[in-house]
Structure 1
Amino acid sequence: MIDQKRILVTGGAGFIGSHLCSKLIREGNDVLCVDNLYTGRKKNISELLKNVNFEYLRHDITFPLFIEVDEIYNLACPASPIHYQNDPVQTTKVNVHGAINMLGLAKRIKAKIFQASTSEVYGDPTVHPQLESYAGNVNCIGPRSCYDEGKRCAETLFFDYRRQHGLNIKVARIFNTYGPNMHPNDGRVVSNFIIQALKGMPITIYGDGSQTRSFCYIDDLIEAITLLMATPNDVTGPMNIGNPDEFQILELAERITELTGSRSEVVFQPLPMDDPKQRRPDITLARQTLNWQPKIKLKEGLEKTIQYFDNLLSRPG
C-alpha cells in the first residue's frame, strides 16, 4: 500500500495504546505493539491480532529494542496511582530508561517519535487553568513523584535529544482520559465510580469531593495525538491535550449514579498525599496548531464507558 507506515506503539496493549493501535490500523498502517502487560491487557488487542498488519511483541522497554520503523509512539508506563505506586522504582525506570531506549532507537533509525507526557508534570498546580509555560508545583520526594518526576525527566530527555541530535519529537501532556478498555482495577476516578455504581457498592470519594478534574473521552484524545504526530518538524510541543470542561468529583459521582440508575451511597475517605486540588488544561495551543478541540460531552462519553464496564462485568470469568 502506498504511504503505508511501519509504526511502533509502546504500551500498545494499554487503555490509550490499544485505541491508538486501532486507529493506526484503520488508516492502513503496519503496527508493531510492544507491551510487557504490567497494566496492559491482551484482551484490549484481541481483535487486532487477527489483522495481518498488526503484530504484538511482549517486551519491557527498560531494555533496548532493535527494530526498523518509521514512527514511534512512546506510551509505555503505568498511569494510575495504584499501579505506578505499586513499584515506584520500576515506574521511574520505564519513564527514564524507557525514554532513553526509545530515543536512542529513533536516533539510530531516524524515526519521528512521540512522547505521552502527562498533566501530572504540573503537580498540585497554583496556576489555573494550566498553560504549557507553567513550570508546575511538584513534590519531588512524595509518593507520586516516581510518575510526576519520571515524566518530567522524560520530557527533558526528549528536548535534549532534539537539541543535541536533531530528533523530530512530539510531546503531548495528556489530561484525565476515560473510555472503553480502561483497566477495571486501575483506581482511577471514572472506572472506580462506574464499577462501584454498577455493583451497588458505596462510591468512594477521597477528600470532600470539591476537587476538580477535566475528563476527555478517548476518541477525542486519539484524534489529537495523531494530529500532533502529523505536524511539521518545527512543532514539538509540549502541548496540552484534554477537555477544558471542569467538574467537581462529587458532581461526577452524582452523574454516574444517575446514568447507571444505581442506589449506591457516597462515602468519603481522606485525600491522598499530593493529590491535586484542581486540574484543567488550557488547550489554546492545540486549538491553534491542530485545529482541534474535544467533541464528545461528558454524558455521551460516560454512557459509552458505562456500557463497556457493564458488558465486562456481565461476562463469565
Structure 2
Amino acid sequence: MSKRILITGAAGFLGSHLCDRFIKEGYQVVAMDNLITGDIKNIEHLFPLKEFEYYHHDVSKFIHVPGNLDYILHFASPASPIDYLKIPIQTLKVGSLGTHNCLGLAKDKKARILVASTSEVYGDPAVHPQTEEYWGNVNPVGPRGVYDEAKRFQEAITMAYHTYHGVETRIVRIFNTYGPRMRLNDGRALPAFIGQALRGEDLTVFGDGSQTRSFCYVDDLIEGIYRLLLSDYAMPVNIGNPHEISLKDFAEEILKLTGASVKITYKPLPVDDPKQRQPDITKAKNILGWEPKTGRAEGLKKTYEYFKNLSSEEWYKLPKEFTKQK
C-alpha cells in the first residue's frame, strides 16, 4: 500500500513542487493551503489524479485529516518580506499555532514530520558561512522579527515534541531558492529583478549591492528535502547552494540574461537586511549525500523562460492585499 503524506502550504512555490515530487514517487498526497499567499494554479494540474486530494484550510486552526498519515511536510508560511511585513500576526500564528497543530497531528497519527525552517534563523550573521551550530544574530522586535522568530520558535517546539513526545521530526533550514512558480511580485531579489527587466524598468538594488546571497535551484532543494525526510537525522540541516554572489553582480547577470536595456539603480538598505548569506552544507553532504547539481546559469535560464511565458498581465500584477489579522 502506498504511503500517505500531508503537505501544508501546498499551493505555494515550494509546496507545489513537493506535491509533484511525492506524486512522482508514488505517494498519496494530501494538500492543504488557505491560499493567503499560495496560488491554486500551482497545483490544479494534480486535481484529476486519484492520488491527490486538497483541503482549503488554515493550519493555524485545528487540523483534522481522516485516515492514516505516514508523513507531514509543514511548509505553510508567508516567506517573502512583502507578505510577512503586511501580515505579521498571521506569519507568527502559522509558525507557532500552525506548527503546534501539525506536531499534534503527527503525534496522533504516529507520522514523521519535517518542518520548513529558514536561513533567516541566522539573522544578519556574524559567522560566515553559516553552520547549523551558529545560533544567529536576530532582532526580535525589528520588522523582520515576525518571520525570523516564528521560525526560531518553530524549531524549538519541533525539538520539544521530538524529545518529550518522541515524535519523529526533521528540520530543514532553507536558503534562497528560485525556479518556476515563484511570484514575480514577492519582493525577493530574483523575481524582482526579472520582473523589472520584463517591464522595462530599472533594476533596484538596495544598499551598495555588496550584500551577498546564495541561490539554489528548486529541483535541487526538493531533492535535499526528500532525502532529509527519509533520513534518520533529527537536528537542523542547511539545504542551499553555497555558491555566493553579491546582489550587484547578480543584477548584472539578470541584465545579461534578459537583454533588457535598463540600468541598475540603488536605494537604501532595508532595516536588518542580512549582509551575507551562504550555507555551510557539510552536514547535507555527509548525512544525506546531497549537494546542488544545477548551475546558476542553467537554473536562471529555466526560470526566466517560465516568467517570460507568463501573460503580460502577470508581469504587472501587484502583490495581494491582505485584510488586517487578529
- Report the TM range for the smaller structure's normalisation: over 0.9
* Counterpart contact for 1:173–1:240, Cα < 8 Å: yes
- 1:258 deviation in Å? 0.5
1:71 alignment partner in structure 2: 71
Q: Distance in 1 between matches of 2:64 and 2:273?
A: 38
Whole-angstrom distance in 1 between the partners of 2:303 and 2:235:
29
Secondary structure in structure 1 of the residue aligned to 2:292? coil
Q: What is aligned with 2:239?
A: 241
| Paired letter, 1:194 | I
- Report the counterpart of residue 114 of structure 2 in structure 1: 114
**Is 1:47–2:41 an aligned residue pair?**
no
Q: Any conservation in 2 of the 1:33–1:57 contact (CA below 8 Å)?
A: yes
Give the Å deviation of 1:237. Answer: 2.3
Partner of 2:98: 98
Counterparts of 2:78 and 2:140, CA distance in 1: 18
TM-fit CA distance, 1:199: 1.5
- Structure 1 residues 89 and 315: CA distance shift in structure 2, 3 A: closer
CA distance in 2, matches of 1:219, 1:237: 23
The C-alpha deviation readout for 1:287-315, integer Å capped at 9, x for no partner, is 00010100001111100000010011347
* Identity across matched positions, percent: 53
Query: Equivalences for 1:1-317 in 2 at 5 Å?
Result: 2=1, 4-67=2-65, 68-232=68-232, 235-314=233-312
CA distance in 2, matches of 1:27, 1:174: 22
* Contact 1:213–1:249 under 8 Å retained in 2: yes
Question: 2-side partners of 1:248 and 1:139: how far apart?
Answer: 23
In the aligned structure 2, how far is the partner of 1:229 from the partner of 1:53? 20
More moved, 45-54 vs 91-100: 45-54
Distance 2:117 2:101 in 1: 16
SS in structure 1 of the partner of residue 7 of structure 2: strand
- Secondary structure class of the residue paired with 2:47: helix
Alignment TM-score, normalising by the size of structure 1: 0.97
Letter matched to residue 202 of structure 1? D
Q: Give, in whole Å, the separation in 2 of the partners of 1:216 and 1:51.
A: 29
Q: Distance in 2 between matches of 1:41 and 1:149?
A: 25
Q: Greater shift after overlay, 132-141 or 51-60?
A: 51-60
In 1: Cα distance, 2:262 partner to 2:33 partner: 36
Deviations 1:47-94 (A, max 9, x none): 111211111111000001111311000000000011011011111000
The question of whether the paired residues in 2 share the 8 Å contact of 1:72 and 1:113 is answered with: yes
- Please list every run of 5 or more consecutive structure 2 residues that lacks an aligned counterpart in the other structure: 318-326
Q: CA RMSD in A?
A: 1.1
Letter in 2 for 1:203: L
Structure 1 distance, partners of 2:229, 2:163, is: 19
